[in-house]
Structure 1
């Protein structure tokens, strides 16, 4: 599978910068490097919001093929120790998290990478991919962190080598 099959730009944050990803709030998304990365040298650290609410990173995807199934995958980790009881990852396409839902997972295994997967059939050539990180804690003033690496959104024609 070639890198050009992935509709996501900067999927592993190996550029060392966040662009073209856009965070939902200022200073909540940081690109870090180190051995903790799932692959390569860099990963995203997305801080969750106080009050057990989520923060989001989004990216506009272009040249999608409407009515073709795309497979989504991301590696996610809650670093240990965490002040949270558990954290959640929600992934959706478009502006409606319910209608455009792609994947979701609750993360209980802190300090371990977990693959979150799903699929989606776009209706338009251009759309917005959003990944939400939220952590739950009895103390609503606690903010959590979820690490992300290796994000992919790949159409079925690429997955089977037909491109």
Structure 2
């Protein structure tokens, strides 16, 4: 993880989600390696519980002191547990509060197939802010045959740092 990371609590080692915030109460929690899944970095990681009816959930962090017109590199580790009932999941990182899967605010995107369950994978991309303040959001979504159940996506080791750091 870059020493120039502008994010606070990037590996959730405080044991709390703060200063990250979930867009829906109780949809994102912090777990630790004693839960049965080793963290990608350190001991803790974030868990996004997807919504019933195959909806996704997200969490975000407000960022200050960004350098406009400077390219930032985004990196995170993501995983869908090996015992997930999902046949497909996706994780997006984007700037702002409104989910955007395409366009200039999209930072990164990864599709997770059934064969990749239980494996920490890299999610990365770049973004060039236009202003000195921003909101970095991470969105997890899973497609399930039974829309009355939920799945989960794990996130760890999140970095957002100037590319030329």
TM-score, normalised on structure 2? 0.91
Would you say how many aligned residue pairs link Structure 1 and Structure 2? 157
CA deviation map 1:15-51 (0-9, x unaligned):
1100000101111111111151011111111101111
Structure 1: runs of 5 or more not aligned: 159-163
**Is it true that 1:19 corresponds to 2:18 in the alignment?**
yes
**Is it true that 1:104 corresponds to 2:106 in the alignment?**
no
1:51 partner SS? helix
- Partner Cα distance (1:133, 1:87) in 2: 7
Alpha-carbon shift at residue 2 of structure 1 (Å) = 5.7
| Stretches (4+) displaced over 3 A | none
CA contact under 8 A between 1:84 and 1:142: conserved in structure 2? no
Aligned residue for 1:68? 70
Aligned with residue 137 of structure 2, among 125, 130, 135: 130
Aligned residue for 1:153? 160
- Partner Cα distance (2:65, 2:161) in 1: 12
- Partner Cα distance (1:126, 1:67) in 2: 12
Aligned residue for 1:48? 50
TM-score, normalised on structure 1? 0.92
Structure 2: runs of 5 or more not aligned: none
CA contact under 8 A between 1:91 and 1:130: conserved in structure 2? yes
- Partner Cα distance (2:97, 2:48) in 1: 20
